[in-house]
Amino acid sequence: MKRFRLAALLAAAAIALLPATAQADVTYPDPLPLTGQQIIHDPTVIHLESGGYAAYSTGGVIGARLSKDLHHWDDAGNAFAQPPSWWYEYNDTGDPWAPDISYRSGRYWLYYAVSSWGTNHSAIGVATSPSGLPGTWTDHGKAFTSETTDTWNAIDPAVIRADGRLWMAFGSYWTGIRMVELDRTTGKAIPGATVAHLATRPDAPYAVEGPYVLKHGRYYYLFASYDQCCAGVNSTYKIRVGRSTEVTGPYVDSTGKPLLEGGGDLLLAGHGRYIGPGGESVFRDHGRDWLAYHYYDAEDNGTPKLGLNRLRWTPNGWPAVL
């Protein structure tokens, strides 16, 4: 799970005094009905070239789920049989978080984060696979790192190609969402590359994380998770979005408010049993865009589960969930 920070823990304690229904907003559509292994956190989903779907997530050694139809999901073990040795530089248990899967140059690419709660001594790693299936990944080490002297946190990666170049959005608290350019061959950050600033909050602890960037039409869309995750039915996670004509920003919401000034259109929030949606990613399947995320099931003791919703695009070019 993504790490708790002191301020977030205090916020969660205060939220725990409120009933979960206080967060409900029944105007949001429910996720796609699923069967099988639904427990997941921070999902990244892809339609495999060989057919079927793979989802990777926080938990285990990057937990894996497989599906033939998006509706029924089976537990498929882990991306790796055991943690690569360098992960232990960042936590004692070799615990990875928030992966991102993509396909380019004939290979699948898996990015993920390793860190410890409450610190930005963090790293984003990269692995490749010919099939995208669990057990086939080769780890290539660190793609990007952050230290306690940095004003950003190298977790929650999300990779996008733009104008022949490769970029990675990342970030959690520590002034919010950032972006760095990657070498297209190695998949690792270009040495000395400028770290762009995409989104933040005006108030500490700058509770925005888990970015995902998508190109649609002439715009790049930045999705991010705001507020508190990882507190079961007391989570206040929600997904907001902004857009820009350039991948590195500036991103603004539909009112023109910059995401660097706390802007962001609310795309999905808790409603009914589906509490605290976040840890989102977007994948394309048969010409349609899908939003993948986790939510905390209020009817199952706050267990984190996989949420899938179709995305539609309004005439003004903004995403909405179906």
Parallel, antiparallel, or unpaired: how do β-strands 196-199 and 208-216 relate? unpaired
Parallel, antiparallel, or unpaired: how do β-strands 274-285 and 288-297 relate? antiparallel
- Residues 262, 40: contact at Cβ < 8 Å? no
Show the tokens assigned to 260. 């660097």
Output the CA–CA distances (angstroms, integers) from residue 177 to 72, 90, 123, 204, in the order listed.
Answer: 33, 21, 15, 14
The answer for residues whose C-beta is within 8 angstroms of residue 163's C-beta and 6 or more apart is 247
Calpha distance 203→72 (Å, rounded): 41
HEC profile of 110-146: EEEEECCCCCCCEEEEEEEECCCCCCCCEEEEEEEEE
| Catalytic residue (one of 95, 209, 265, 280) | 209
Calpha distance 297→316 (Å, rounded): 33
Task: Count each helix (H run) and each strand (E run) in the chain, helices first.
Answer: 1, 21
Asked if 42 is an active-site residue, the reply is yes
| Catalytic residue (one of 42, 227, 265, 297) | 42
Closest to 132 (Cα-Cα) out of 64, 219, 232, 214: 64
- Residues 265, 321: contact at Cβ < 8 Å? no
Closest to 212 (Cα-Cα) out of 12, 46, 7, 47: 46
Q: What angle do CA 42, 48, 54 make, to 5 degrees?
A: 30
What distance lies between CA 10 and its chain's CA centroid?
A: 23
- Residues 199, 188: contact at Cβ < 8 Å? no
Asked if 209 is an active-site residue, the reply is yes
Show the tokens assigned to 195. 């770290």
| Catalytic residue list | 42, 209
